[in-house]
Every structure is written in structure tokens, then in C-alpha cells.
């Protein structure tokens, strides 16, 4: 069965960097879209970045130019490199996946409705 396991969260100082990982196992199809989402206390979960099986990437406006999503050669681990972090980046970060299709439009890639599989989340705290 499909499993997504996030890691790499923790505390970091403002202006610093952190890299999150999402280990993906149990791929049911070669085409996929994998996204990173975050939820700040009191706010709705928002899409941060997404990458599809062809390597196409999409970013949310608040993180453009600061965050980079990537995948390893085996496409079993997805990364979110986060630079120039601020307190506004504090939150629980989740990776999510949908298989059988690429990410599609930007709104689809950063929306939650099409994602079927979710990880348990990893906390990022910027102070």
C-alpha cells in the first residue's frame, strides 16, 4: 500500500534553511503528482509546492524564490528545500500524493482536493 513519511522538521532561526523529505513507497502508477502543504495554527492548510512524474514544478506565491521542490533519481524521496525562513513559515508540513495523473493546472497542483494519500506531517518552527 502507499505510504508517505515526512522527516526533517524541527526548529530553525529566522533567515535560516531547512530541508524536508518525503519518502514515498508503494507506487501504484508511474504518473504521479506529489505536493507539499502546510498548516499554520488557526489557518486553512495551503499548498506550498508540487512536483509531478515529468519533473514539472509549481510553487505557492508565499514561497516562490525561497523554496525548491525536487525528487531523487529513483523518485522515491521528494524534498522541500526551504531558504530564508521567517516566522510566517512556521507550521505543520505535509506531503501528499495522487497517482495516475500529473499535477495539471497550478490551482489543481496546489489545491488539496485531488490528493488521495497524505503523510503524518512534520513540524517546522521558525523563531
CB distance 6 to 22 below 8 Å: yes
β-strand partners of 80: 20, 69
Q: Name beta bridge partners: 93.
A: 38, 122
User: Beta strand pairing status for 57-59 and 46-52?
Assistant: antiparallel
Inter-residue contact 11 to 125 (CB < 8 Å): yes
pLDDT at 41: 82
pLDDT of residue 30: 84
Q: Could you read off the pLDDT of 55-84 as tens digits, one per residue?
A: 999 999 999 999 999 999 888 999 999 999
**If the chain, 127 residues long, is cut into consecutive pieces of 10 residues, what is the mean pLDDT of each piece?**
96 98 89 95 93 94 97 92 97 95 90 93 97
CA nearest 9: which of 115, 118, 112, 126?
126
Looking only at the bridges linking them, the beta strands covering 57-59 and 122-126 are: unpaired
Amino acid at each position: 500500500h502507499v505510504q508517505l513519511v515526512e522527516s526533517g522538521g524541527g526548529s530553525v532561526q529566522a533567515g535560516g534553511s531547512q530541508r524536508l523529505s518525503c519518502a514515498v513507497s508503494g507506487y501504484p502508477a508511474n504518473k504521479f503528482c506529489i505536493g507539499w502543504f502546510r498548516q499554520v495554527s488557526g489557518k486553512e492548510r495551503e499548498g506550498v509546492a508540487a512536483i509531478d512524474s515529468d519533473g514539472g514544478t509549481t510553487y505557492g506565491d508565499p514561497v516562490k524564490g525561497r523554496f525548491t521542490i525536487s525528487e531523487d533519481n529513483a523518485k522515491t524521496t521528494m524534498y522541500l528545500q526551504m531558504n530564508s525562513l521567517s516566522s510566517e513559515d512556521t507550521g505543520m508540513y505535509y506531503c501528499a500524493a495522487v497517482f495516475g495523473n500529473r499535477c495539471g493546472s497550478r490551482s489543481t497542483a496546489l489545491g488539496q482536493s485531488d490528493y488521495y494519500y497524505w503523510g503524518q506531517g512534520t513540524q517546522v518552527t521558525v523563531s
